[in-house]
Structure 1
Amino acid sequence: MRINENTLLEGKNIVLVPYNSDHVPRYHEWMSSEELQKLTASEPLSLEQEFEMQCSWREDDDKCTFIILDKQKWAEPSVPEEQCMVGDVNIFLTDPDDHSLAEVEVMIAEPGYRGRGLGKEVTQMMLCYAVNRLGVRKFEAKIALNNTVSIALFKKLGFGELSVSEVFGEMTLGMNVDEAAHSLLLCNSDFMQEHDYRKARESRH
């Protein structure tokens, strides 16, 4: 999605940046992991296919993707951005006739960063961005049944169970952004700052 191609979102512990070609080799390494393939219900791709996928995510109007960076590492200009990568977060507009409905996916790919509350921070930031910038009012999340940590996270954020598919081994959770949820997201946005990504990259060099 072009709307976020120059957007940087700064949180307390992490920074969200648009997924660009510099990130692809590291992302490809992650997705070679059988564990991550199972958790994300993904098929392994060649490096060339991964570059094609990155272009697709950048251009398609129904996908909005950010790469999650370790804010502390990223603050050090000597550390290449690719070495700050922690995972990714995506919004998919699943209904071409209703852009207020979106599916959200979060992946903390680096094992050392799991269990530190980053998933919650990332998800809150992405929900807030989707509501305020994309006009999303209904969210869904499809999570593998064995991914109990992610299921618990989304439930804490106000998502309720919509359905369970034993065939696909996943649970679908959802949340409508009513007045109370919208106010909460706006309050949570106080810890998030939006910056010009190009200027931020230039300042690191």
Structure 2
Amino acid sequence: MKINENTLLEGHRVLLVPYNEEHVPRYHEWMKSPELQQLTASEPLSLQQEYDMQKSWREDNDKCTFIILDKQRWVDPGVDEEQCMVGDVNIFLTDPSDPFLAELEVMIAEPSYRGRGIGKEVTRMMMSYGITKLGVKKFQAKIGLDNQVSISMFKKLQFQEASVCSVFKEATLELMVDDSVRTKLQEDVAYMKERDYKQTCSSRHELVQQ
């Protein structure tokens, strides 16, 4: 999606940055994992297919993707951005009959970063971005029934189970964005800053001083 091609979202522990060409090799390595393929219901792609997918997602109007970076590592200009990658987060606007419905997907690909509350911070940041920039009024998350950690996280964020598909072994959780949800989210991510990605990249070390 073009809207976030130069957007950096700064949180406490993470940065959300546009999915760029230089991120593809690391992303491709992640998606060789049978575990991640199962959790994301994805098929393995060739490296060239991953590059094509990255370009397609940048242009598509119904997909908004950010790469999750470890903020503490990223502020060291001596560390390549690719080495700071933790996972990704997506919003899909895939229902033509309901332009305000967004499917939310979060992947913490690096095992050492799981179970540390990062997924919750990323989800809140992405929801806030979706509401303010994309006009989202209803969020939906489709999660495999064996991924109880993710189901539990979304329920803690006030998502309600809407349906369970035994065929695909998947639960659908939903959250309507009313005034109380909007207010709570604003309070929870009041610390989040939106920055110019390219400009911030040129002065990484200054971020930690601000």
Structure 1, unmatched stretches of 5+, are none
Match of 2:198 in 1: 198
How far 1:139 moved relative to its partner? 0.4
> How many Å separate the matches in 2 of 1:7 and 1:72?
19
Q: How does 1:122-201 map to 2 (within 5 A)?
A: 122-201=122-201
Q: How many residues align?
A: 205
CA deviations 1:104-144 (Å, max 9, x no partner) are: 00000000000000000000000000001110010000001
Match of 2:75 in 1: 75
* Residue 39, structure 1, aligned to residue 39, structure 2: yes
Match of 2:65 in 1: 65
- Identity value in percent: 66
Q: How does 1:78-117 map to 2 (within 5 A)?
A: 78-117=78-117
TM-score, normalising length: structure 1:
0.98
How far 1:188 moved relative to its partner? 2.0
TM-score, normalising length: structure 2:
0.96
> How many Å separate the matches in 2 of 1:63 and 1:30?
20
How far 1:176 moved relative to its partner? 0.2
How far 1:97 moved relative to its partner? 3.6
Moved runs in structure 1, 4+ residues, more than 4 A? none
Supply the RMSD in Å over aligned alpha carbons. 0.9
Structure 2, unmatched stretches of 5+, are 206-210
